[in-house]
Structure 1
Amino acid sequence: MTKFLAAATLAAALVASPACAQTKIQIGCTATTDCASAMVAVDEGIFRKHGLDAEMVLIGINSNIPAAIVSNSIQIGGPTSTVFLQAADGGLDLVAVAGASVMNPSSNANIAAFVRNGITIKEPKDFVGKKVGAPGLGAFLHVLFVKWLVEKGVDPRSVNFVEVTFPTMADIIKSGGVDVVLTAEPFITRMTNAGLGTIGARYGAELARTEPIIFYAAARDWAEKNPDTIKKFRAAIAEGADIVNSDRDKASASIAKFTKQSIELVKASPPNRSEPALKAEQLAWWIDIMSSQKMLQTKVDLNKLMLN
């Protein structure tokens, strides 16, 4: 009887183990709300339900994400549309696997150029000669701000851009290391409440675009070798996006945990809208903008950059 029970237990374990096996992946994003669908999918056990042991990895500068993907430090990352296109233009073999966030009136209102105390910005030309910190040169907030400057008749070359990570913006503004930072919520509220400065321009709202902000990308070779993992990832992200867009409390809790911001601060503004669907034509506007800013050296084939 004992031998029978042991054999039965072993057989059950052998049958159950494939179903219980978890494929481990690491997902890299910066400290913003844009990857909230992945954050929620981790915290709510959605990835595990789909057979993935997923871990979120905090990346300081968005422009570092493509290199992290290629080096396999992470398997999937959340680069901004601009960082992704510039990396592809530079020869990195990356593919987009799912959408993360898109611009909309709510998220656009959460974007601003925050100006430190002692600096006066009343109109676009006042940014001339200023030292402006961006969370990645060539990243979303930087390219969008350059587009705004051009539309306002200001030469972007007259502005001194430097890279500043989101978590360090408050300290650098306070110390006077930069005059302005290009940032978003909840960092705007955090710095405003701390009395570190004022909003110089809500350039995102003025541009009023609806294109993707961030999407999930992987190395082509890895993605093509792991189609089942990609399928499971997409399914989990779709569920996570539904929660982000409908359950403010759960979304805020996951964002606060990953970005290391207080829950009260995160709840002060809604997260960027999560949109798991992604189409090649949605990136066409970004390509036009980046080409006009001479950020792309080749003709990018959008269809090759999208994983079917």
Structure 2
Amino acid sequence: MRQSLRLSALVSALALAASVITGCGDSDSSGGGGNGLETDSIKVASLPLADGASLYVAQKAGLFKKEGLKVEIVPVQKSTDAQPALIKGDVNIIAGANYVSFLQAEEKGTLKLSIVAPAATLTSNMMNVLVKPDSKIKTAKDLEGKTVAINILNNIQSLTLNSILKANNVDATKVKYVSVPFPQMAAALEKGQVDAIHTVEPFLSDTEKKLGARVAVDGGSEPVTGLAISGFVSTQEWTKKNPKTAAAFQRAIINAQKLSTQDRKKVEEVLPGYAKMDPEVASVITLPGYPTSLSKTRIKGVADLMVSSGLLKKTPDLDSILFHPTA
């Protein structure tokens, strides 16, 4: 352990002297050093989805280093899988965390939620309902009485899809949802275990390519187009203890969101690495929207929809949940 610490200190010292190690902070990992931060080391849990692309854009562009931060990325398959680690302090932030799960956890008292930065908003054809090419399911109405695979039950997918179904005069109570992890959805559809899958990129484009699957319902259509679906979340305990560090991270992510919005290629360059995606697929998939500000109105939109759908009892106190740096 001592050798490891000595090695870490040596590497950090070399980074300070040479300023050539990409993605590392300008001081050692034991504290904020001379940059005024409470700590310059952050552990961020990340999913293999396009939602959290700005985390990698920021790292690649040196935006964390510019803020004096050293960010260690911990891959996870579901944002909810990282929730226990967040509560324990084993990770400090979760990238691309779906708002539904974490707003529910906040209401249940599982954690005191702090949304540090926005991640993604829903765009047309970013999260679609796919069926086999020979399926008789042609429209939203045809989903009545059918089984649809979603990643997590009673979450963002059923929330948004139910809204679309109701807008199209479909009885959403007649649609049966089953939980299937995104990477396993294509196989479940191919084997006939489900009638349709509600999937996201990059799995969406991959399933269309390999199975010839077709879109039955645009999962990003009205009335949920532009809905806030995910963010970079932490705990209020961590952001209150480390407000300058949280603010530095927020600035880096917001700047990365701007880069992602202005230049799609910034996202395409990072997707193959962390999302294990073919570069050709990365160049054609539908990306989410990348908000460039932490908007109370935007978060309230998804919270209100959750309340009307019974996923929350009441709209949460967003003033305490959204992290805003002090002057």
Which residue pairs with 1:80 in the alignment? 98
- 280 and 177 in structure 1: CA distance in 2 versus 1, 3 angstrom threshold: same
The alignment's TM-score, normalised by the length of structure 1, stands at 0.85
Q: Say which is worse superposed, 193-202 or 221-230, in terms of deviation.
A: 193-202
Secondary structure, aligned partner of 1:206? coil
8 Å contact kept, 1:241–1:276? yes
- 165 and 158 in structure 1: CA distance in 2 versus 1, 3 angstrom threshold: same
| Equivalent position amino acid for 2:144 in 1 | V
Which residue pairs with 2:117 in the alignment? 98
- Counterpart CA distance in 2 for 1:128 and 1:242 is 40
Q: Deviations over 1:196-236 (max 9, x none)?
A: 42211113123353232211110111111111211210121
Provide the identity percentage. Answer: 26
Secondary structure, aligned partner of 2:50? coil
8 Å contact kept, 2:300–2:315? no
- Superposition map of 1:1-308 within 5 A: 19-22=26-29, 23-77=40-94, 78-91=96-109, 92-103=111-122, 107-207=123-223, 209-308=225-324
What is the CA distance between 1:145 and its match in structure 2?
A: 0.4
8 Å contact kept, 2:54–2:253? yes
8 Å contact kept, 1:27–1:56? yes
Secondary structure, aligned partner of 1:203? coil
- Counterpart CA distance in 2 for 1:29 and 1:155 is 35
| Equivalent position amino acid for 1:243 in 2 | L
| Equivalent position amino acid for 2:53 in 1 | A
What is the CA distance between 1:20 and its match in structure 2?
A: 2.4
- 117 and 55 in structure 1: CA distance in 2 versus 1, 3 angstrom threshold: farther
CA RMSD of aligned residues (A): 2.5
- Counterpart CA distance in 2 for 1:283 and 1:234 is 16
- Counterpart CA distance in 2 for 1:55 and 1:139 is 28
Count of residues paired in the alignment: 293
| Equivalent position amino acid for 2:172 in 1 | P
What is the CA distance between 1:55 and its match in structure 2?
A: 2.7
- Counterpart CA distance in 2 for 1:146 and 1:52 is 41
Q: Which has the higher contact order (CA 8 A, sep 6+)?
A: 1
| Equivalent position amino acid for 1:44 in 2 | A
| Equivalent position amino acid for 1:97 in 2 | V
| Equivalent position amino acid for 1:71 in 2 | K
- Gaps (5+ residues) in structure 2? 1-12, 18-24, 30-39
- 282 and 242 in structure 1: CA distance in 2 versus 1, 3 angstrom threshold: closer
What is the CA distance between 1:52 and its match in structure 2?
A: 1.9
- 119 and 72 in structure 1: CA distance in 2 versus 1, 3 angstrom threshold: farther
- Counterpart CA distance in 2 for 1:207 and 1:178 is 26
Q: Say which is worse superposed, 224-233 or 64-73, in terms of deviation.
A: 64-73
Secondary structure, aligned partner of 1:108? coil
- 121 and 73 in structure 1: CA distance in 2 versus 1, 3 angstrom threshold: farther
8 Å contact kept, 1:145–1:203? yes
Q: Which has the higher helix share?
A: 1
- Counterpart CA distance in 2 for 1:155 and 1:183 is 21
- Counterpart CA distance in 1 for 2:90 and 2:179 is 22
Secondary structure, aligned partner of 1:26? strand
| Equivalent position amino acid for 1:79 in 2 | A
Secondary structure, aligned partner of 2:281? helix
Which residue pairs with 1:10 in the alignment? none
8 Å contact kept, 2:190–2:211? no
- Counterpart CA distance in 2 for 1:222 and 1:208 is 32
What is the CA distance between 1:272 and its match in structure 2?
A: 1.9
- Counterpart CA distance in 2 for 1:86 and 1:279 is 19
Q: Deviations over 1:111-166 (max 9, x none)?
A: 21011355321232321222211122233233100111222233333222122222
- 29 and 181 in structure 1: CA distance in 2 versus 1, 3 angstrom threshold: farther
